[in-house]
Amino acid sequence: MSRDTAEFSRRQMLRGLAGLGLTASAGSSLLLPGYLHAEQTPEEIPQPRYGGRIRVATMSSSTADTMDPAAGSLSTDYVRHYMVYNGLTQYDEALRGQLSLAESMETDDQKTWHVTLRQGIQFHDGKPLQPEDVVYSLMRHHDPATGSRVKPIADQFESVTVTGPRKVRINLTSPNADLPEILADSHFLIVQDGTSDFRNAAGTGPYKIAEFRPGVRTIGKRNENYWKPGKPYLDEIELVGIPDKTARVNALLSGDVQLVNAIDPRSTRRVEQAKGFSVMETPSSLYTSLVIRQDVPPTNSRDLTLAIKYLLDRPTIKRALFRGYATIANDHPVHPSHPFYAADLPQREHDPDRASYHLRKGGLEGLRLPAYASPAATGSVDMATLLQLSAIPAGLNLGVNRVPSDGYWSNHWGKHPLSFGNINPRPTLDMLFSLFFKSDADWNSSRWNNPKFDQLLAAARSEGDQARRKQMYVDMQELVSNECGIGIPVFMSLIDGYDSRLRGLSPIPIGGMMGYSFAEHVWMAA
């Protein structure tokens, strides 16, 4: 896809996001429309063609590949899970949770939700979808032995009970207006009641698993009984992992695969110039952050924290590291395209003078401090080097400690006064703030403690009025940007490359490849 088509999709996404305010403010009883046909992109005006097989390569695959949605941790897992399973809801291009397996989701207080399942849905093995399957799929996250990656989120499901032949009631521990968005996450996809060995698990999704070999490949065959009329289009999808980014682009350009994710911004020109290939940019809220610990000296100094934030040269990072495939950020995790974005908060600029003012004020001139960076946190090594260079004139002596990816998250992320983190897009602001900024969150990596922020976070979660809710999130962004020990220079775009004959792709900003859910949307033009 050329850049202008990507622009088109982005505008479309913004329109969609603007629409979110309208839909959600419609009333306290939330009735969402049926699932969304992806018929709005310009490519999809011609009639989809049936048949054909494609091979898809993602950046990560190892023997730890899994068929268990709760344990999914890498891009190949998410793609596989969206091929095989459905959720109660699914993301649209603005990350709203549209109804999927659920026919309706109703609530009066954002705390007790009544879910009605669609009629006549079958698993791949022929068993009909039952409310018990939903109960099992959601409650299994509570058991630590499941090894669920979203246990902290699932802990808010106080109880999930069967209330009728197609009905389930979800009680939350406290009100949360974002439940439809949470349930669209790949970890909450619906599996069959009692499944413990997932290797041959049956889902309700668009493709049945014909072959699954961890670290080698996954083959999905068209589910002829799929409940969405007319879908999916392809006969077969083969999913492989090619971790080496050059090899991945080569495989695309040689015609061995038709879709790849995570293209290096430096390789985009190569793909665009090749005949018959395109790239798709998904502006996302993925970011690499600088973690400045607020509970240990010397970084617990507010002056030092601010000085470091002023030393981040955002335009240079955007241009030099990401070739423009990024959006400038303002030291808080909300993407400018989000309807709750704090547009009035002044953009923090690269300002070495202010940085040295703060260093002088805090009596920290000439301080030596190592920053831990790793290939595990995308771009962090280069960011650290840039930061080091701009810190010297301001009177701060930063060292760059480059450490391997292996074991980085357990041993370095947030374990030193200065380190880098990398946070994937989350569907809701509540999730993002609760997981990474709330004072008692496990991954509050800068150990920031702010009771006012915590209060606002809890209040916003249960607030039904959209205007008041937005004001709360704006206040939270201001607090994070000015007080928290997290520096966020840019949001990175996700870049996919594809064979131009592949149609139906459009960005869903939770991840590359249509938020990993491309499988049921794409077809191969003749």
Partner 1 sequence: MNTIVTLLLRRLGISLVTLLLVSAVVFLITNLLPGDPAQEMLGQAATPEVVEALREKLGLNQPAHIRYLNWLGSLLSGSPGVSLANNMPVAELVADRLPRSLMLAGTTTVVAVPFALFVGIVAAMYHGRRADSIISTAVMFVVAVPEFLVATVAVLIFAVELGWLSAVSYAPQDPTLGQFLATYALPVLTLSLVLVGQMARMTRAALIEQLQQPYIEMAVLKGASPARVVLRHALPNAVGPIANAVALSLSYLMGGVVIIEVIFNYPGIASLMVDSVTNRDFPLLQACAMLFCTGYLILVLMADTAAILSNPKLRK
By CB under 8 A, name the binding residues for partner 1. Answer: 57, 62-66, 71, 73, 144-145, 147-152, 197, 199, 213-217, 240-244, 246-247, 250-251, 253-257, 406-407, 409-411, 413, 422, 442-443
Give the orientation angle of helix 352-361 with respect to helix 380-394, to 10 degrees: 70
Residue number, 250 or 471, with CB nearest to partner 1: 250
In angstroms and rounded to an integer, the radius of gyration of the C-alpha atoms of the chain is 23
Q: How many CB atoms lie within 10 A of CB 126?
A: 8
Which is nearer to partner 1, 29 or 254 (by Cβ)?
254
CB-nearer residue toward partner 1: 214 or 298? 214
User: What region does 94 belong to: left with phi over 0, alpha with psi -120 to 50, or beta?
Assistant: alpha
Q: CA-CA distance, 205 to 225, in Å (whole number)?
A: 10
Helix (H, G, I), strand (E, B) or coil at 279: strand
Other beta carbons within 10 Å of 392: 12
Q: 162: buried, middle or exposed (CB in 10 Å: 19+, 13-18, 0-12)?
A: middle
How near is the Cβ of 139 to partner 1 at its closest, in Å?
A: 16
Q: Tell me whether residue 215 or residue 315 sits nearer to partner 1 (CB atom).
A: 215
CB of 28 to partner 1, least distance (A): 33
CB of 516 to partner 1, least distance (A): 17
Q: Can you tell me the distance from the alpha carbon of 61 to that of 70, in angstroms, rounded to the nearest whole number? A: 17
Whether 428 and 183 have beta carbons less than 8 Å apart is answered as no
Which of 29, 196 has the CB closer to partner 1?
196
Contact 125, 202 (CB under 8 A): yes
Please, what is the minimum distance in Å from the beta carbon of residue 54 to partner 1? 14
Output the smallest distance, CB 187 to partner 1, in A. Answer: 10
Name which of 7 and 244 has its Cβ closer to partner 1. Answer: 244
Please report how close the Cβ of residue 103 comes to partner 1 at its closest, in angstroms.
32
Q: Which residue's CB is nearer to partner 1, number 224 or number 440?
A: 440
- Decide whether 144 or 451 has the Cβ nearer to partner 1: 144
* CB of residue 7 to partner 1, shortest distance in Å: 28
Question: Would you give the DSSP letter of residue 69?
Answer: G
What is the three-state SS of 207-234? Answer: EEEEEEECCCEEEEEECCCCCCCCCCCC
Q: To the nearest whole angstrom, how small is the minimum distance from the Cβ of residue 204 to partner 1?
A: 23
Tokens of 235: 């006969």
Minimum separation from the CB atom of position 61 to partner 1 (A): 9
Amino acid at residue number 117 = L
Q: Closer to partner 1 at the Cβ: 248 or 461?
A: 248
What is the Cα–Cα distance from 122 to 286, expressed in whole angstroms? 35
Q: What contacts 1, CB < 8 A, 6 or more positions away?
A: 278, 279, 280, 498, 505
The contacts of residue 224 (CB under 8 Å, 6+ apart) are none
Query: Following DSSP, what letter does each residue of 123-160 receive, concatenated?
Result: -TTSPBP-HHHHHHHHHGGGSGGG--TTHHHHTTEEEE
CB of 113 to partner 1, least distance (A): 25
> Judged by CB, which is closer to partner 1: 66, or 327?
66
Q: Are 186 and 169 in contact (CB under 8 A)?
A: no
